[in-house]
Structure 1
Amino acid sequence: MRPSPQETPRRLVADAHARAVPRPNERSWPGLAVAPESPLRARVAELLFRRAVRSLALRVELPDGTRLGTGGPDAPVMRVVRPRAFFHRLGVDVKIGFGEAYLVGDWTSDRLADLLTVFAERLAVLIPPRLQTLRRWVERGQPVEERNTLRGARENIHRHYDLSNELFETFLDETMSYSSALFDETSAAAEFAHPDADPMVVLRSAQLRKIDAVLDHARVGPGTELVEIGTGWGALAVRAAQRGARVTSLTISAEQRRAAEERITAEGVADRVRVLLQDYREAEGEYDAAVSVEMIEAVGERYWPDYFRAVDRLLRPGGRFGLQAIVMPHDRMLATRHSYGWVHKYVFPGGLIPSTQAIEENLRTHTALRVREARYFGTDYAETLRRWRERFLDRWSDVAALGFDQTFHRMWEFYLAYSEAGFRVGYLDVAQFSIAKPS
């Protein structure tokens, strides 16, 4: 069947977008190798960059011997290897160009997370206020093709979570939990006292503590009928079944479903857990409890009402919802919610991190659900990301054997370090919410 004349332009745009997005598992990095050209913007970007870093506690080194920043000998160092390409990338699109310049080696650092932490501490004031008012005229908006429609959500999830189950196995602990762990003082002290202890064993315990806390928020116990929105690799579903619950877990990642079902069978709980390849908007049934761990960040602001309405619809009266979500300050969310950044392009297309206020407003406006309790533990996420990053770097040879190239190495390191920096300085936080539906 031929497309209609009206559909043709839309399809051409969609095809062009598909060709332009990175495909790391295929070693495809469209447009990355050649820096864009914009002399005027590059000059402005250089002036702003020099002005911004001159008061930061770091050191910037340029090939001509120029040294910028106030950092001493112990401060993190940023080495600008190809300044012309670097400033052109910044000038054309600073939110994407800064990270892309790292991907191709225009700049480098031996202490990437520490360096990005210094930038993150001053993120809100790096650009002069008068220039910030021009943001909406120069920043790219999120592509229509990456909206989280039923079809778009599947494509967005596929681009990240279906990279390779084996890739995630290289740096996650054995629970395969791809969300913040919840550490306690006892385990931290034990690890400090025994420096030879396996850090991944400590991480596993912290991940199980996080899972148990979410299940506690949802009051999951023997006989509970539970729906999970976002299966991951199945650890939470297994843990809930071991408590005696009957679990229906929803995912739109075929790769994750396959791995989760293997884990569920291996743990001997296949009679109490079913994993459906299904979007939350398509879910049916009634449940005593619901849980969702760091899935809301992939929903997108436009679909938050649908997400919470789905939970409300699936819960029986008196039901509980255990939600773990990355959050950010409400004013920062409002300022950045329409912009398209490096993380969107290379890691999580279509995503937006909510604020606690946005979560509460959506619940109040669209559902009968209300937050009863909240627990914040952002520093634990910084620690989780540090462990992931160090393990990924230590096991790079295993990742490379899967077919990933050096550009991916720098991309994944930047992603983990960039995220760690955000949690270190409090620009990002993570919370578990206990949400109740009235009886």
Structure 2
Amino acid sequence: MTLTPTRPTPGAWPGLDGVPGGPRTAVSAAVARRLFLSAVRRLPVSVSLEGRVIGTGGPTMTVHRPDEVFARLGRDGLIGFGEAYLTGAWDAEDLTSFLTVLAADIADLVPRSLQRLRGLVQHRMPHSDRTTKDQTRELIAHHYDLSNDLFRLFLDESLSYSSAMFEGDLDLDLATAQRRKIDRLLDVTGVGEGTRVLEIGTGWGELANRAASRGATVRSITLSSEQQALARVRIEAAGFSDRVQVDLCDYRDVEGEYDAVLSVEMIEAVGLEFWPTYFSAIDGLLAPGGRAGIQAILMPHDRMLATRGSYTWINKYIFPGGFLPSAEAIDEVTTEHTRLRVTDRLAFGADYAETLRRWDEAFLSRADEVRGLGFDATFLRMWHFYLCYSRAGFASGYLDVEQVLLERV
């Protein structure tokens, strides 16, 4: 299913109502047009623009309003490119396939000779998106407090909002693959009868329930009131209220001693400047002989260094304050700031591409129900773009996901 291009409702989406204009935009749009055409001419895509098709052949992109596309791209870079999709200024029959081609060539879309000027044009993370203790809850709420009912529409019955683990078996149903991921993390951290577990980032309670089913006692912390409410309901329904508590709490405020600290795809919301704080907190909470299990989305180290401090489409529309680490960054931060060392890691990025494919198909198939929750056509395009954009990162190999085991050695 594809989404029909629709202009945003006036006033509902600030910045999308009007097309950027003025002398500065005219210049930047002209530059953006030249760079765009130069890039797509050599890529395996087919871009329909002003009566011609550009590219060497491959996934299609149709530019409906070129002046708007290049104005937005010129003024706001990849943020503007994504916004032009939201407004319907361009479309793609298979959005993931088209974005995957771009993601595979992301380091060279702009000529390297011009990349030295990145700092002059790249948007910087606003101060309001710093993941400080007094701001983080609001940043988390932007995404996770949207609506539990929305997430229920496209997630599986486990309500796991992170990569599943298929291990090559793509016939596996998503809920089973999600539980396989959780069980592996519990296995490598030794969670069993009597284990004291801290979970940083509750999700909707599946990991806590599975840890409790092994006989562990669990404290799970979240900054999303919506997640806390539903997780508590699910934990009670599973019969584990006596073993699991779910608290609204920042990881920086946790006290106590735990045999296992688990955190699934939460480090992405920590923020680069607070990675030392995050890992130091985990180090300080682990009992002697304890283990920490982290599932993390990763980007290449050179790209992480090149883009740190930047403000992206994902930051603006999906995860304010978020930033992805690299595998090397985790090694460096833990070595420099903690007693923890990585003793085991498993990468399964292709499984994330498959997970996102299934989420997107489920989301599109229930578009009418999404509208019934009060979300408009622009939100539908935004969420579809987010899922496809993310999937393209994993499908191209630009992004990866790992389960990382940390121990004091």
Q: Which amino acid aligns with 2:318?
A: V
Name the structure 2 match of 1:389. Answer: 360
Q: Tell me, what secondary structure is at the counterpart of 2:114?
A: helix
User: Counterpart in 1 of 2:32?
Assistant: 45
Residue 90 of structure 2 is aligned to residue 112 of structure 1 = no
- The two structures, once aligned, show a CA RMSD in angstroms of 1.1
Is this contact kept in 2: 1:140–1:339, CA < 8 A? yes
Q: Who is 1:3 aligned against?
A: none
Question: Where do residues 113-152 of structure 1 align in structure 2 (5 Å cutoff)?
Answer: 113-152=96-135
Q: Please give the secondary structure, in 2, of the residue aligned with 1:292.
A: strand
1:127 is paired with a residue whose SS is: coil
> 8 Å contact 1:56–1:70 — kept in the other structure?
yes
Distance 2:14 2:185 in 1: 40
Q: What CA distance in whole angstroms lies between the structure 1 residues aligned with 2:260 and 2:379?
A: 39
TM-score, structure 2 as length reference: 0.96
Which of 7, 19, 25 aligns to 1:35? It is 19
Question: Partners in 2 of 1:150 and 1:252 — Cα distance?
Answer: 11
Residues 1:154 and 2:137 are matched in the alignment: yes
Aligned to 1:402: 373
In the aligned structure 2, how far is the partner of 1:420 from the partner of 1:168? Answer: 17
Q: State the distance in 1 between where 2:408 and 2:196 align.
A: 15
In structure 2, distance between residues paired with 1:421 and 1:273: 37
User: Residues 369 and 436 of structure 1 are in contact (CA less than 8 Å); yes or no, is this contact kept in structure 2?
Assistant: yes
Q: Give the unaligned 5+ runs of structure 1.
A: 1-23, 192-200
Within 1, Cα distance between the matches of 2:367 and 2:52? 33
Say which of 66, 69, 92 aligns to 2:55.
69
Match of 2:269 in 1: 298
For the pair 1:207 / 2:194, whether they are aligned, the reply is no
* Matching of residue 168 in structure 1 with residue 151 in structure 2: yes
1:138 Cα shift? 1.0
Counterpart amino acid of 2:257? E
The answer to whether residue 270 in structure 2 is matched with residue 269 in structure 1 is: no
Query: What TM-score results when the alignment is normalised by the length of structure 1?
Result: 0.89
Shift of 1:437: 2.4
Aligned to 2:3: none
CA distance in 2, matches of 1:329, 1:119: 16
Contact 1:228 / 1:247 at 8 angstroms: preserved in 2? yes
| Mapping for residues 337-356 of structure 1, pairs under 5 Å | 337-356=308-327
Alignment of 1:93 with 2:76, yes or no, is yes
Partner of 1:419: 390
CA–CA separation in structure 1 for the residues paired with 2:307 and 2:112: 15
Contact 1:145 1:152 (8 Å CA) reproduced: yes
> For the residues of structure 2 that align with 1:216 and 1:304, how far apart are their CA atoms?
25
1:328-358 CA-partner distances (Å, limit 9, x unpaired) = 1111100011111100000000011000111
When structure 1 is superposed on structure 2, of 231-240 and 119-128 the one drifting more is 119-128
Looking at structure 2, the residues matched to 426 and 317 of structure 1 have their Cα atoms a distance apart, in angstroms, of 37
Distance in 2 separating the partners of 1:40 and 1:28: 29
Q: 398, 406, 409: which one pairs with 1:435? A: 406
Counterparts of 1:326-365 in structure 2 under 5 Å?
326-365=297-336
Instruction: Quote the Cα distance in structure 2 between the aligned partners of 1:83 and 1:114.
Output: 21
Task: Output one character per residue of 1:180-220: Cα deviation in whole Å (capped at 9) or x when no partner.
Answer: 000033x43xx3xxxxxxxxx70000000000011112110
Report the Cα distance in structure 1 between the residues aligned to 2:17 and 2:384, rounded to whole angstroms.
19
Q: Which residue of 1 aligns with 2:348?
A: 377
1:312/1:367 contact within 8 Å kept: yes
Taking the aligned partners of 2:134 and 2:54, their CA distance within structure 1 comes to: 47
Residues 1:216 and 2:199 are matched in the alignment? no
State the alpha-carbon separation in 2 of the partners of residues 113 and 425 from structure 1: 10
Partner of 1:60: 47
Q: Distance in 1 between matches of 2:258 and 2:234?
A: 23
| 8 Å contact from structure 1 (residues 104, 407) kept in 2 | yes
What is the distance in 2 between the residues matched to 1:134 and 1:348?
Answer: 26
Q: How far does residue 372 in structure 1 lie from its aligned partner after superposition?
A: 0.4
- Which amino acid in 1 is paired with 2:18? V
SS at match of 1:228: strand
- SS at structure 1 position matched to 2:134: helix
CA contact (8 A) 1:290 1:320 kept: yes
Contact 1:325 1:431 (C-alpha < 8 Å) held by counterparts: yes
Please tell me whether the aligned partners of residues 165 and 255 of structure 1 are also in contact (alpha carbons under 8 angstroms): yes
Q: Could you tell me which amino acid in structure 1 is paired with residue 13 of structure 2?
A: W
What is the letter of the counterpart of residue 55 of structure 2? G
Q: Is the 8 A contact 1:217 1:433 kept in 2?
A: no
Count of matched residue positions in the alignment of Structure 1 and Structure 2: 397
* Structure 1 counterpart of 2:4: none
The answer as to whether partners of 1:315 and 1:437 remain within 8 angstroms in 2 is no
Alignment counterpart, residue 258 of structure 1, candidates 225, 229, 245: 229
